[in-house]
Amino acid sequence: MTKNKKIVALFPGQGSQSVGMGKDLFQAFPVVRSVFEELDDTLSQKLSKIIFEGPIEELSKTENTQPALVAVSIAAFRVLEHMGVKKHDFSFMAGHSLGEYAALCASGVISFADTVLLLRARGRAMQRAVPLGEGGMVALIGADIKTAEKIASEASQAGVCEVANDNCPGQIVVSGQKLAMEKVVEVSGNYGVKRALPLNVSAPFHSSMMRPAADHMESVLSEVSFHKADVPILPNVSVRPETDGSTLRKLLVAQITGRVRWSETVRFLIDEQVGEMLEVGAGKVLCGLVKRVSDQVPCMSLGTPNEIEGFVNALSRKE
């Protein structure tokens, strides 16, 4: 269906959640209803009710957010498949942090049921890894990666401080101990950073402080079947195309403490002469980051019936 250009599926991560996400897909497509039914049955919880109706405080609990976002992504992907877009029409798949699990599910590496169970375990393990209030994250607005690394190095005198997310030029996130995060805010102006914004997160994600969560998830992941990917995955920590299931499993463990190298992911795709990037699931965060990295390749959000139908119709006209 997409013979003339390479397309890529991108799957969003934490921060893209909103009450009501996926509800219009649920109402419009029977194939989506089965996704949310499986979600609820697998978790023995009416998570779909929280996704559609809230409250946002309940949806934003890490153990709920992670499976919820992936469920919406897979629902949107199932609609694409239902409308004739095949898995093999995609040249690559990638996800931002927990979105990598959606990429693995969409490409056939892990089943949907295993995906949501893994994310429930991941959310709980990450929450337990560091007592509330002992860690945090700060977004450095207007910083490049080298500047962020210098700030992290200075702030690490006060405690653990590491670059967690290289999201795009001008938006780098550092993560670590509370005192170190306060030091980041204090010194960032000396490096020409426009703003150091403490994030409303419950833990220092993607830092070495998440080691207990990584150890736990290594054990949990070892019990799940990982298959060869039907579409090459670009893992966050390596940004190298990968299809081997056992390697992808190891990289999921490394991802918990490792850096999300999103800028590099987008640049890799541009170098591969990708023709279009598709943000499959809730929100438009990833398309915003893609545009900040480069406006060379269009990015389209596919999270509603109208967006998906518009994309499929445009593809049909180009054939």
Indicate which residue of 73, 97, 263, 301 is catalytic: 97
What is the spatial distance between Cα 45 and Cα 102, in angstroms, rounded to a whole number?
A: 20
Per-residue tokens: 235: 């893992």
Which of 216, 179, 214, 213 has its CA nearest to residue 198?
Answer: 179
Indicate which residue of 206, 207, 216, 301 is catalytic: 206
Task: Label residue 54 left, alpha or beta by phi (over 0 means left) and psi (-120 to 50 means alpha).
Answer: left
What is the spatial distance between Cα 233 and Cα 291, in angstroms, rounded to a whole number?
A: 21
SS3 107: coil
What do you get for the CA distance between the two ends of the chain, in Å?
7
Q: Which residues of 13-29 are buried (b: 16+ CB within 10 A; e: fewer)?
A: bbbbbeeebbbebbebb
Q: How far is CA 193 from CA 150, 156, 188, 190, 293, in A?
A: 12, 18, 6, 7, 18
SS3 299: strand
Per-residue tokens: 111: 């089943």
Amino acid identity for residue 301 in this structure: S
Query: What is the enclosing helix (H) or strand (E) of 59?
Result: helix 56-59
Cβ-contact 245, 230 below 8 angstroms: no
List, as one string, the DSSP characters of 132-166. TTSEEEEEEET--HHHHHHHHHHHGGGS-EEEEEE
Question: Residue 73 catalytic?
Answer: no
Cβ-contact 17, 59 below 8 angstroms: yes
Question: Residue 82 catalytic?
Answer: no
Residues belonging to the active site = 97, 206
